[in-house]
């Protein structure tokens, strides 16, 4: 206890907090759960990417296996007149039959995309970006599997396409996932949403820098 000549700590001040270590420790422990809530949220987003990628890959490979059996004759089967049909095609190139003689290069590009998406996913904090990355990863792996295991050989395999869009080009489920992912990337970029879910700071009236989330939308 302080002697009569010693100043007593004033309640509610920093002096009081220094005099009572138990209160300071309690305040620190109460703030701890706020930071720990970030990790589970990040794990959920990574789980979303993994589940969505696996689902796209599964549907892509199952539909390709079906096309190899049901459309083996190579004939076109109309679905929406001449706008949409089913026709089995083995594509050595990219979409729109681009780079048909560069299968090795396309295989390397696809593998690079997969590695980059996996690495960048560690920074995810946005559900929108998680959706885009899951679709992109599943689509890239789906076509990469074809290039690695199908004829005429490893890294030179031709991709199985069977969704005919008019007389323009023929694609597959993996291509659809990649296109949707590209649209989501454009939308997220236009909205200013960063990978971690934040937004760039804007200079508000009066000169104060504020987050875009704080500005009325």
Active site residues: 161, 175
Residue 90: closest CA among 72, 104, 63, 111: 72
Rounded distance between C-alpha atoms, residue 71 and residue 3, angstroms: 96
Kindly list the distances between the CA atom of residue 192 and the CA atoms of 125, 164, 178, 186, in Å, as whole numbers in the listed order.
14, 35, 21, 10
What are the residues whose beta carbons fall under 8 Å from the beta carbon of 57, sequence distance 6 or more? 138, 141, 142, 145, 174
Return the ∠ at Cα 144 (arms to 167 and 124), rounded to 5°.
105
178, 139 Cβ separation under 8 angstroms: yes
């Amino acid at each position: 206890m302080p002697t009569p000549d010693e100043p007593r700590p004033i309640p509610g001040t920093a002096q009081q907090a220094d005099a009572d270590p138990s209160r300071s420790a309690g305040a620190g422990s109460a703030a701890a759960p706020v930071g720990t809530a970030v990790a589970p949220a990040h794990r959920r987003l990574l789980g979303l990417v993994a589940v969505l990628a696996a689902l796209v890959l599964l549907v892509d490979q199952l539909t390709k296996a079906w096309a190899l059996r049901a459309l083996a004759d190579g004939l076109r089967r109309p679905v929406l007149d001449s706008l949409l049909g089913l026709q089995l095609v083995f594509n050595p190139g990219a979409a729109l039959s681009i780079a048909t003689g560069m299968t090795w290069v396309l295989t390397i590009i696809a593998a690079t995309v997969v590695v980059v998406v996996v690495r960048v996913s560690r920074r995810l904090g946005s559900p929108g970006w998680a959706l885009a990355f899951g679709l992109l990863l599943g689509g890239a792996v789906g076509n990469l599997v074809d290039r690695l295991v199908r004829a005429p050989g490893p890294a030179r395999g031709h991709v199985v396409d069977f969704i005919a869009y008019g007389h323009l080009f023929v694609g597959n489920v993996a291509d659809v996932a990649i296109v949707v992912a590209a649209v989501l990337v454009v939308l997220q970029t236009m909205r200013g949403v960063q990978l971690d879910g934040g937004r760039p700071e804007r200079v508000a009236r009066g000169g104060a820098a504020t987050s875009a989330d704080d500005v009325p939308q």
